[in-house]
Amino acid sequence: MALYSEKVMDHFQNPRNVGKMDDASGVGEVGNAKCGDIMKMYIKVEDGIIVDCKFNTFGCGSAIATSSMATELIKGKPIEEALELSNQAVVEALDGLPTHKIHCSVLAEEAVKAAVKDYYDKNGIEYDKEKFAQTHDCDHCAE
């Protein structure tokens, strides 16, 4: 059995929505140089809908694939729906990840939340701080 699904390989080799967005409504950056994965997510919001999103990721193939898939899953969605994106949804959309790479999907979830939080902060929108608690628990990052 292959270590990575065809979808993971496709999103790694042909990532969607890569790049910087100068006019982003919200920007979130998560990760840790110690674990080697850093994700920066950009969202453009119009009338409560994420009309565009981009990402820049420094990291492994799984980090790139999960960033790419996360942007695909939130584009065109209401911002509140994007906020509900879970790392498990990203993993399922990619047809799975090796256990030791699940932390990449957690980073993707956190990058989306960080971008939404930045959007809320910039626009004075109140939010439940509990929804934005980071859960990344990469063993490498704790070293």
Question: Is residue 60 among the annotated active site residues?
Answer: no
Its sign, for the CA torsion 104, 77, 113, 41, is: positive
Query: Crossing angle of helices 102-122/61-74, nearest 10°?
Result: 50
Residues 53, 104, 138, 141: which is the catalytic one?
A: 104
Question: Is residue 104 among the annotated active site residues?
Answer: yes
CA distance 13 to 92: 19
- Which among 41, 27, 40 has a CA at the least distance from the CA of 120? 27
Residues 35, 53, 60, 138: which is the catalytic one?
A: 35
Other beta carbons within 10 Å of 4: 19
Other beta carbons within 10 Å of 18: 14
Where does residue 41 fall: left (phi above 0), alpha (psi -120 to 50 degrees), or beta otherwise? beta
Active-site positions? 35, 104
